[in-house]
Amino acid sequence: MARAFPLAKLRNFGIVAHVDAGKTTTSERILFYTGMSHKIGEVHDGATVTDWMEQERERGITITAAAISCNWTKTLETDRTSKELKYTFNIIDTPGHIDFTAEVKRSMRVLDGAVVVFDGAAGVEPQTETNWGYADEAQVPRICFINKMDKLGADFDASVKSIEDRLSKKACRIQIPMGAENNMRGVVDLITMKSYTFGGEMGMQVTEEEIPEEFLAEAKKRRAELIERVVEHDDSLMEAFLEGTEPTNEEIKKTLRKAVLANEIFPVMTGTALQNIGVQLVLDAVVDYLPSPLDLPDTAGHDPKDEEITVTRKASDEEPFSALVFKLQDDKFVGQLAFFRVYSGVVKSGTYILNSSTGNKERVGRIVRLMADKREEVEEVYAGEIAAVVGIKEVKTSHTLCDLDAPILLETITFPEPVVAVRVEPKTKNDQEKMGVALKRLADEDPTFKVSTDEETLETIIAGMGELHLDILVDRMKREFGVEANIGKPQVAYRETIQREAEGEEKYVKQSGGRGQYGHVKIRIKPLEPLADPDAKIAKNIIREDHFEFINSIKGGVVPQEYIPAVMKGCKEAMNRGQVAGYKMEDVSVELYDGSYHEVDSSEIAFKLAGINAFNQAAKRANAVILEPIMKVEVRTPEEYMGDINGNINSKRGMIEASEELGGKTIVNAKVPLSEMFGYTNTLRSMTQGRASMTMEFDHYEVVPPNVAEDIKKARGISNEG
């Protein structure tokens, strides 16, 4: 079976935005116009295709990234049945809510381009900034779509300015709207210098006409700006332009594509998905400006047996197979689905592949292509495509799948640590058995969801990115796994660290008739500094993990090699138990520099216990402190409530960093400790008669003030001596 379409006609792109910018509404229009759904689902009716989970439809938000495959022929092509004119899209509609940020981050890793949707009345919002940052990290080319131009307070120019001020000066209009709010009736294309209106059923009938007189002057001004920006990216066009020759439309498009692929220009388009204006032209722009897999650099990884050997793969069916698993999803009918993006080669169902992250040989079961929650079974998947496989064991997000004879390990995806925790206990014995399975499945699916056990009370603790995140997961436990559970109050995920260098020594000796125990270590601990160059080679005697480093400086075998991992294990165990209030410790560098052993009595357990005790001694001398998560908070409020809001934020140990005007509202940016923010939405509503809104996301960890540290210790039942 051959590839159904050429690789050059494939576009893998995501739709990303802040919550409520109209992202899912835009996705539903795309599905309708590409013929994948026969009626448009509306978020407010709870009938959308991409938001297919019950919780998504009830709450009107996107929780999980949905992958959809569809075809597109450009808007004004007359022969819409021609195979030659068709493009294939793999689209991922990602969540906008900060609590589900992992979904956006993991999607960015496998996308080639993105359409970033903005609310025309709100401009750039906090989660848009976060998503934009993820796209910058992954170097993903972007198109901006300023949506909701029919909304009260919509302002295209103010929205463009907010993109330039808060995201990138490289944003550049390629369209302008014809009107705004109730008068929004179409768009002007600054390249073709034509106007486009959308009539007929659901805006299916696109009409190209001359630009109405009232918009002509603005269009000419903006086109001149566009041409100036475009010719900068081509020397011959620039030369001709300076001599008075304007580039042709074809030259503008070709050069603009080159600049978009290099992340040098982010084209700005506009419309209103709800009123069916402008969406088809965004799909045309995806074809014209976003990359196919052939436009991207070769995919780089390394040899699983030797990190120093770089291995690359071209986007070609002829290359050995390589793919990255970017998402796991539990399916009640088929079991676990592993979503993967193929970077090179072909994979067929029934064949064997290597999971190079685990070293396991795996048999590929059924392969399915996704249409949100519907599946189309396929025999094989080619380079550049996105699909899901059923039946691979021990697979996790970020694992590499590859050819048995040509191993490669692709770069993994890193995820933020959870900041909110709650205690959960099953309601009945029957629930207890099911809860363990449910939590493991959910934690496998979501890398920002962590499950642990309190060693003292043996209670189960779940941690995530926010209250909504944990609410949804508990709700999913009930609906998908039938587990009823009692939930405790949300708690802050505090951490601990050290502030200075210190040493510790422990000689663990135990004699109890027969063979004794002997382990003796000397360690030095200090705050862990970030690597100056993350790509620099790390010395062989150093093991570096997330927030932890272990340096083996033993000379002359004073501690035998086989006991050194036990010392490291002991230090890590002591860090997990914490030193101040029992919270996990991080960002510590441990150096084992001396010790001794006994020919007969030494053992791994003796050295592990020596490691624990030596670390505890050193940490007491190293000024151990509690860290708390600080949140980036943005409040949008009418001007008259500014005084109350500022005073309230200050009373919560918050720092106001900036305020600005946009769309008739004042935007307040602040950094506030998470512990002060529980229930803040209700406080804000009552302070402003429901007229202000708030978003927050994790920013960084910071040392808690001494008085707050005392309160935390008291709440944990720890005295100063303890």
Query: Which single residue is written with the structure tokens 């998504």?
Result: 56
Average pLDDT score over residue span 321-326? 88
Q: How far is it between the farthest Cα atoms of the chain?
A: 101
Q: What would the pLDDT profile of 666-676 be if each residue is shown by its tens digit?
A: 888 899 998 88
Q: What would the pLDDT profile of 98-117 be if each residue is shown by its tens digit?
A: 445 555 666 677 788 999 99
pLDDT of amino acid 433: 78
Pair (57, 201) in one structural domain: yes
Pair (486, 503) in one structural domain: no
Q: What would the pLDDT profile of 277-305 be if each residue is shown by its tens digit?
A: 999 999 999 999 999 999 988 888 888 88
Q: Which two tokens stand for residue 587?
A: 């960002």
Asked if the structure places residue 228 within a domain, the reply is no
**248: three-class secondary structure by DSSP:** coil
What are 510's strand-pairing partners?
517
Its pTM stands at 0.70
- CB-count burial class (<10 Å; 0-12, 13-18, 19+) for 314: middle
Domain boundary pick from 623, 651, 684: 623
CATH code for the domain in which residue 83 is found: 3.40.50.300
Asked if the structure places residue 230 within a domain, the reply is no
- The C-alpha angle 550, 555, 560, rounded to 5 degrees, equals 75
Asked if the structure places residue 581 within a domain, the reply is yes
For residue 466, pLDDT beyond 50: yes
Pair (631, 619) in one structural domain: no
Contact 528, 536 (CB under 8 A): no
Lowest-pLDDT range, 42-46, 134-138, 280-284, 395-399?
A: 42-46
Residue span of the structural domain in which 516 resides: 499-623
Pair (287, 338) in one structural domain: no
Asked if the structure places residue 434 within a domain, the reply is yes
Q: Which two tokens stand for residue 614?
A: 């030596």
Domain count, the chain: 5
Pair (19, 162) in one structural domain: yes
pLDDT of amino acid 455: 67
CATH code for the domain in which residue 379 is found: 2.40.30.10
How many other CB atoms are there within 10 angstroms of residue 78's CB atom? 7
Average pLDDT score over residue span 569-596? 92
Please give the share of the chain, as a percent, with pLDDT higher than 90: 35
Determine the residue type at 280.
Q
- The pLDDT-based confidence of 663 (bands split at 50, 70, 90) is low
CATH code for the domain in which residue 676 is found: 3.30.70.240
Pair (427, 396) in one structural domain: no
DSSP notation for 46-60: T--SS--SHHHHHHT
Q: What would the pLDDT profile of 476-489 be if each residue is shown by its tens digit?
A: 888 778 888 888 88
Q: Which two tokens stand for residue 643?
A: 């005084």
Pair (587, 680) in one structural domain: no
Containing H/E element for 377? strand 374-378
Q: What would the pLDDT profile of 359-392 be if each residue is shown by its tens digit?
A: 888 888 888 876 545 667 888 888 988 888 887 7
Domain boundary pick from 410, 433, 459: 410
pLDDT of amino acid 6: 85
Lowest-pLDDT range, 44-48, 121-125, 473-477, 515-519?
A: 44-48
- On average, the pLDDT of the chain sits at 83
- The pLDDT-based confidence of 442 (bands split at 50, 70, 90) is confident
CATH code for the domain in which residue 453 is found: 3.30.70.870
How far apart are alpha carbons 392 and 61 in whole angstroms? 30
Pair (93, 152) in one structural domain: yes
Contact 418, 463 (CB under 8 A): yes
For residue 564, pLDDT beyond 70: yes
Pair (606, 476) in one structural domain: no
For residue 422, pLDDT beyond 70: yes
